[in-house]
Every structure is written in structure tokens, then in C-alpha cells.
Structure 1
């Protein structure tokens, strides 16, 4: 088989084959080292660390906060800078608080009598105009409630710079006579005011004795139960801070027990209605023994009884002397 290149054929002998010569080699570019797609161990660990939520928060929030606090601490370490900052903040606060929309210029009081109104204005230490931020309503309320005549008060600042005070006064329902004078009490026994005499409030019932104010509720219940004898009622007297005596006109008295005093008074009123007991010459109706009322006769009835017995009459005086005389005669008879 002849070579494909006719130029390589020999000219002398056409039957001889031409020698094979290698083709010239092409220039080969130097091969570059391929990059390994896998990261290094350090890069891999840092990448995994950045995916941790705690580390990301620490890096994104904690580190900036730490730097900010450190810078602020260094800046505030200087005393002059701190004083300047404090003065600037105080000045800004005062400027805001003293704006016209926050100023209170007048005070109104509703529901108070003239006397309470005057005392209330004297007790409220507010110099107007004043900033609403400088008025402590809770402390003012505590000061006002120290007035005996004030039961409750509502304090608030209305729009327009008005300090409004709505007062609920205590209503006196009885007079309390004791060793130190006369006082007006409300339904709970709380003091309302002092009175110079009984004539100041003739429309109110009277209670007397030490500790009577603590049993004011029971006294009101007894007065409500008095019913038919109410026109003759002079008052209630607290005896030994334990029980009540109902004091009537004509020197008569109903002695009530410690317990169930209202029931005992209703029983006495039933006796009055059935037997007209108090119309007789009886000075004391003693109900301390429960269902066994004990009657103490008046002086005239005692003398009448003594005349019937042929005994010496008791001189005209108080009933206590008569009682002592009767007790003395009884002892003589017993002897």
C-alpha cells in the first residue's frame, strides 16, 4: 500500500514504500491545579459556629451592646460630663412639666358645707398655679380624710387646669355626751364634730357614757325599736361599757341586758302596751334577768306601801335614798 503523500514516493522505484514519519507534536498548555471545592476545617467550623443561634445573637447584639456600654462608661467617668448631662435632663423635664397644658390654675370643691370647705382649703397645701406633675393626689386625699367631717373625697385634675374635689360628708345621727363634752357621731360611731350644748341639735337622740360611741349601731337599733315610748325617750346610757339603760322622762329607766338588748326592749314595750306599765309609779324596769322583769317602785308608791304597813315614810328626796331605806327595813325584818 502506497503512502498517501505522493511527494514522499521515491522517484526511482515506484514499488517501494515511503518511510512513516511521526507528525509534529502540538504544543500542550501547562495544566492548572484544580481547586478543591471542600472548605478547610477551620472554615467549616467557623461556618457551623455562625449557624448557632446563641453565637449569632451574641455577635449581632451582645458585642455592639458591650461596646456601647463601654464607650458610655468611659464618657460618663468624667464628673463634669455627668453634671452637664444631669442638668440638661432636669432642665428638659422642667420645661416639659411647666408647659401651659400641664398647669393647674384653680380648685373647685363640691358637696362640702362652708365650714368643711374652709377647712379643706386650709389643709390642701397647693399653691396655684402649679404643675400637675407636682401635685400628689394620693397624699392630698390622705390629708383630707383626717378631717372628722369628711367620709370620702374624690380628687382629680380636669381639663383646663382645674383641681376638682368632690366631698362626701359624714351625716350626724346622734349626740354623744361623755366626761369630756358633747360630740356629734355618724351611724358608725365616728366623730363628726363637737357641740357646745344639747340645744345645738335638738332633733338628734342622745347617748351617754364611756364606750357608747363603739356601740353606736346597737344604739340606733334600740332607738328604732323604741316606737311608742320614743316621745318620752331622753336618751340611752352605756353602763360599764357592757349594756344600755333606756332613760325616759319622769325619772323612769329601763335596764337592758348585755345580749339581745333589742329583743328585751321589744318585750318591755309589749308590757307597756298590755298593762300600761310606765303610766304607773315605777322608777325602774329591770330586764337583765331575761324573761323575769323586776320593777322598782317610785318614791310615792313606796311611801304609800309603807303607810299601809304602818312604817315611817321616806323623806322626799331621790329614789336612791328610798331604795336604801327599803333595803334597811327588809334587813331589820329579816333579823
Structure 2
């Protein structure tokens, strides 16, 4: 064991004699811990200045963070946000709805969930849009916030093309055949009535097929889709017109001509069969058939008497 002394010439030495064994036993802290130790040493010695009220602010921040975390876990964040923003002047007071011809404003307000204290800031616009978009008549919807107290709801609605009867049910349909909603009143009574399975998808052909024959179309009470291939027209006076599967335009031209020249649809008939291109078959009503049979019988008797008198 010996002592080691280090000196610099010309100035007093700041080093002390350190036994070699003691120097070997001293441990050096890792680099990250050195900064922590230096910070606490400086803090204790007063070399680091902490502003006044730092502890109070930190405590309040900690309590606020804890409160927000608790509200989040309890599901009360939205309610607190609603109450806070409403109290400072962002409560919704006006809802402007446009483009709604068939959609009730009351339905829209109910879906928005307004209660007189709902905050415009806290309102979830995307969720409101999705709810309104599920209404039967709504095709597109835009929901927009107008600060500080207004919501704008702009709709574009689906267009009713026809009434579809399937079984005992009546539904309004688009031209594409998509069902809009059940028929509830008579405001759509002027729309064409299509009847039968798959008639809703076949209905799109009606507008084009009858565009040149408005006189016939005006008298059609119902379009009945038969066997997924062709239409039967039920006229306003009960006459049934049987159209062919193909060349409907020619069949309608024939029907229009007979009605114009001979008032065919005004006669006591039950049906007009136009399914064959080279002939038109007329079916009489039971009463007309009975009268015709009586007339034929009388005529036959008259001819027999006339032959006997010769």
C-alpha cells in the first residue's frame, strides 16, 4: 500500500491523496442518472428557480386530467361538453331544413335529438347525417353548422315513379324499381299502378312504350305484369287489353286506331287480345254474349219461318 500524489508546478494542488484501493472501489453513475442527480443537487442548492404558484397549477392540472379521465370512463364527457359550451352561448336555437317535400321536419328534429340546450359545438354532424340518410325519402343529405346557434339541413329526395301492388300491399317505387315507402294516402293517385311479381322492375318500360299513345295511357287504370313477359292493361271501364311480348308499339297503334274509328273501348266488351300480330280477338262480356246469343237464335228462327213460307 502506497500513496499517489499528483501536483502541478507553479500552482497549489487541488487534488488530494487517494489510496489506490479506495479509487478502485468508487463507482461511476450511468449517464442518464447523472443528469437526474445533478438536477436534484441544483434544486436543493437553490441554483434552479421555480416560479411562484407552480405547485398549485400543477395540482390543478393533475386534478383536471384525473377528472377528464374519470368522465371518459363513465361516459359523461359529451354531457359535460354540452353543458359547458351551451352555457357560453352555443346552444342550438335554429334549424333550417330545405329540399324536404315528403320528409317531415319533425322527423329530422327528432333524429337530431335537440332538447333546447343542445350545444352546436358538441353536435356530431356525421352521426346526424347518417341518421337522417336512413329516412325513406332521403336520397342525399348535408348537415352543416352555422355558428353560433344554427344548423342547416339540405335534402335531396327520391322521386316516386309508380305504385306497385304486390299481394295486398301498395308501395311507392322509383323508376329503377327500388321501393321508397308504403303508400299511405291519396296524394300519389295519379301515378301508374303496376301489379304483379317483378312488376316494379318492369315498370321502367311503361314511360317509353306509351309515350306516343297518350290517348290509351290516359285510360289505363292498372298495368298487370303477366308471367314475367308482357303487360295486360286494365282500362278505366273494366276492359282488359292483352298486349304482346314483342312489338308493343304496333299493338298500341292498332288499339288506338280501332278506338278512334269504331269506339272499340266504349262497346260492351270484356277484353281485347292483341297478342297475335295478324289478328285482333274481341271477348264480349257475359251480358253481351247472352244478348248476342239471343239475337242469333231469333234470327235463326226467323230464317226458318221465312224458308217454310216460300
Give 1:240's aligned residue: 227
Equivalent position SS for 1:172: coil
User: 1:105 touches 1:129 (CA, 8 Å); kept in 2?
Assistant: yes
CA distance in 2, matches of 1:102, 1:272: 72
Give 1:156's aligned residue: 144
Q: Which residue among 280, 288, 298 is the counterpart of 2:275?
A: 288
Q: Which residue among 105, 110, 115 is the counterpart of 1:122?
A: 110
CA distance in 2, matches of 1:126, 1:259: 56
Give 2:165's aligned residue: 177
CA distance in 2, matches of 1:266, 1:154: 47
- Deviation, 1:255, is 1.1
User: 1:116 touches 1:149 (CA, 8 Å); kept in 2?
Assistant: no
CA distance in 2, matches of 1:207, 1:151: 23
Q: Which of structures 1 and 2 has the bigger CA Rg? A: 1
| 1:238-277 alignment runs, 5 A limit | 238-277=225-264
CA distance in 1, matches of 2:156, 2:230: 32
Give 1:105's aligned residue: 92
- Deviation, 1:113, is 4.5
Deviations 1:187-214 (A, max 9, x none): 44444443356x5544333332233222
User: 1:149 touches 1:191 (CA, 8 Å); kept in 2?
Assistant: no
- Deviation, 1:149, is 1.9
CA distance in 2, matches of 1:252, 1:172: 27
- Deviation, 1:184, is 3.1
- Deviation, 1:310, is 3.8
> So what's the TM-score if we normalise by structure 2?
0.56
Deviations 1:76-114 (A, max 9, x none): xxxxxxxx7x949x78xx999977899572432122248
Equivalent position SS for 1:270: helix
Q: Which residue among 124, 145, 148 is the counterpart of 2:133?
A: 145
Q: Show structure 1 runs of 5+ residues with no match.
A: 1-66, 72-83, 312-335
Deviations 1:91-147 (A, max 9, x none): 8xx99997789957243212224852122222335666346476142x433332222
Equivalent position SS for 1:285: strand
CA distance in 2, matches of 1:309, 1:175: 44
**Residue 231 and residue 144 in structure 1: after superposition, are their counterparts in 2 closer, same or farther (change >3 A)?**
same
Deviations 1:145-201 (A, max 9, x none): 22222232222223434321112233434333332333333444444443356x554
Once the two structures are overlaid, the 10-residue window that deviates more, 100-109 or 185-194, is 100-109
Count residues with an aligned counterpart.
228
**Residue 241 and residue 116 in structure 1: after superposition, are their counterparts in 2 closer, same or farther (change >3 A)?**
farther
CA distance in 2, matches of 1:243, 1:166: 41
Equivalent position SS for 1:251: coil
- Deviation, 1:264, is 3.3
CA distance in 2, matches of 1:156, 1:220: 38
Does 2:184 correspond to 1:211? no
**Residue 259 and residue 133 in structure 1: after superposition, are their counterparts in 2 closer, same or farther (change >3 A)?**
farther
- Deviation, 1:239, is 2.2
User: 1:178 touches 1:209 (CA, 8 Å); kept in 2?
Assistant: yes
| 1:1-335 alignment runs, 5 A limit | 87=65, 105-106=92-93, 107-113=95-101, 116-125=104-113, 129-130=118-119, 132=121, 135-137=124-126, 139-196=127-184, 199=186, 201-222=188-209, 224-307=211-294, 310=297
